[in-house]
Amino acid sequence: MAGGDASKRAAMERLVRVLGVLSASPHQGVSGKELQRVAGFDGDHADDQLGRDLKHLRNHGWQIDNIGGTGSEGRYRLIAGDNRLRVSLTPRQQAALQRAALIADRADLVDKIGLPDSARTVSTGVGVAARPVGDALATIVRAIEQRATLSFRYKGKERLAHPAGLKHQNYTWYFTGEVDHRPGKVLNFVVDRMAEVVAGETGSARRVPTVERLTLHPLRWEVDPPYDVTLRMAADFVPDAIRWLQRPRSERVLGDGTVELTYTVTNRAAMRARLYVLGTRVTVVDSDEFLTEVLAELAEMAGE
């Protein structure tokens, strides 16, 4: 029994040493080799031993990101925050608390409960500042009341929709409707991005079933036609990808040890924003259309 207690104590001391070194380098991170040295790991299995310790810490609420690029030596950074809530709450309770923090616009809680920075920019603070919607909102309301079709331009395309409803969420108005060219498919449109909004004749729209409230996670908003994007990464980076992109539709381990995650994307802008955060940790494969969009947006940001 005494031997078992000593072993547990040694393991706890090792984890504390690893956390101490990570805490001392909050910005540049710490190399995997240095963490192995601090933990006392050596030999052929040092990488695996360190990986198990980091997984154990992550499972207990610590956010430790591998910020090294694909093909580079692992480099780990501890994201500062109080993990006591994450340790004491179940995953379902954590998710409920995160949703409540976003709805309440509590940016101060975003760090404490482990939400990524994108949650702040999309769902709290300046990312959801109200913008004028002009006459479009009044026209949409009239179309809903009179069960009239609604024609408008959205992202450069002409749309004809049968109204299902109007929602206000996270300081933004969303029009929900069944688009004429995709019968049975109900989509959400940001009202202040709708142009040339015109209501048709009274009674011209078909009835559309009531739709549920929009999901809080922007990657699940149906603002674009769905299509698949496949990302390839080292196995060490899979937890980072899931943290930013949620669970994939499918996951495949390749023979060289890398992993491919496939996502069905319905909000391209949100997907691109999160890929920029992941950086060189992931590679886009089998998605030429999406990769072209990413390169075009990066060129525009660079002023080219």
> Which of the 8 DSSP states describes residue 258?
E
Residue 152 amino acid letter: F
State the pLDDT at residue 67: 83
Are 236 and 210 spatial neighbours (Cβ–Cβ below 8 Å)?
Answer: no
- Model confidence pLDDT, tens digit, residues 80-131: 654 544 555 555 655 665 555 555 444 555 555 455 554 443 333 333 333 4
Model pLDDT for residues 171-212, shown as the tens digit of each residue? 678 888 888 777 777 888 888 888 999 999 988 988 876 555
According to the model, what pLDDT value does residue 225 have? 83
**Residue 38 near residue 18 (C-beta atoms within 8 A):** yes
* Alpha carbon separation from 133 to 136, 159, 172, 188, 195 (Å, rounded): 6, 18, 10, 16, 10
pTM of the model: 0.36
DSSP bridge partners of 230: 262, 285
Which residue has 């990808």 as its token pair? Answer: 241
Mean pLDDT for the stretch of residues 39-44: 88
Task: Spell out a b/e string for 192-227, using b for 16 or more CB atoms within 10 Å of the CB, else e.
Answer: ebbeebebbeeeebeebeebeebebbbbebbbeeee
Query: 54 or 92, which is more confident?
Result: 54
Q: Work out the burial of residue 275: count CB atoms within 10 Å of its CB; fewer than 13 is exposed, 13-18 middle, 19 or more buried.
A: buried
Residue 132 has pLDDT above 70, yes or no: no
**pLDDT score, position 271:** 87
Q: Average of pLDDT values for 280-290?
A: 84
The model's pLDDT over 205-257, given as tens digits with 9 standing for 90+, comes to 888 765 555 555 677 777 788 888 999 999 989 998 888 888 888 999 998 88
Q: Tell how far CA 15 is from the center of its chain.
A: 29
What's the CA gap between 40 and 173, in Å, rounded? Answer: 55
- Give the residue-averaged pLDDT of 278-292: 84
